[in-house]
Amino acid sequence: MTKPKKRQPLGQSIGGVLFGFEQQVFRNQPPPHELVHHARPDAPVPTGNGTMLTIELPEEDQMPDQDPGRRLPPAGFPTDFPSPPVIAEPGDPFSSLRVIDAVARMERGQPVRLDDFVDRLNATYLDWLFTRRVVMDVLVALQSNWMADYRNASGIVLVDGDRGPEVTLEDSSRVDPWIVGQAERALAACRQALDEFARQDRPVKGG
């Protein structure tokens, strides 16, 4: 909406020019409230016919809602969003945590074939794919951690049996608290990876 206003007197205009010239020469800055006033987008601006043009902006509560998630989906819209398949990778804490969970559920003192162990993981996590290499890497890392903590290799025993590689977990009271600590370590690594991902998942200026 435009509202024509009368042209300012010549003396007032010249005074404003001289005042602006003084600011440029002597580097005098006007008071903060004047700077804010001059920066207002709704301040009158001169037109070609000598009148002043005022542009009225809508209030904030009258602005349309730009939130893309406020509208409800149509009736019958699917609510089940399947997770994408995940291929377990060596050194990945999310893969390691799931392998350690399977180790914690093993019967103590009884050898388990590596292939059966892998099949159990893939049957438990249908949206994951575990390979022998990934599982063996985690078991070897656990065996190394056990040797560092207890100075022996009896906690997790890996051997080549008649039916292929086998893993045996020691049947003692020290296994449970130790395996809990290993799971907590892997869980902390997962959370750290998620935190780093959250910090990177932001718009980059100029990108």
Look up tokens 């000598």; give the residue.
50
Look up tokens 């010549």; give the residue.
10
Q: Which residues of the chain have pLDDT under 70?
A: 1-43, 45, 47-48, 56-67, 201-207
88-200 — its CATH code?
1.10.10
Q: What is the pLDDT of residue 38?
A: 53
Q: What is the pLDDT of residue 147?
A: 97
Model pTM score: 0.64
**Residue ranges per domain, the chain?**
14-55, 88-200
| 87: nearest Cα among 129, 116, 53, 50 | 129
CA distances from 6 to 51, 96, 114 (A): 6, 77, 91
Contact residues for 142 (Cβ-Cβ < 8 A; gap 6+)? 100, 103, 156, 182
Q: How far apart are CA 105 and CA 117, in angstroms?
A: 11
Q: What is the pLDDT of residue 105?
A: 96
Q: What is the pLDDT of residue 58?
A: 61
Quote the strand ranges of the chain, DSSP E. Answer: 45-46, 52-53, 86-87, 112-113, 128-129, 156-161, 164-169
Q: What is the pLDDT of residue 14?
A: 45
Name the DSSP letter for residue 61: G
| 171: nearest Cα among 114, 107, 102 | 107
Q: How far apart are CA 165 and CA 153, in angstroms?
A: 16
Q: What is the pLDDT of residue 4?
A: 53
Q: What is the pLDDT of residue 160?
A: 94
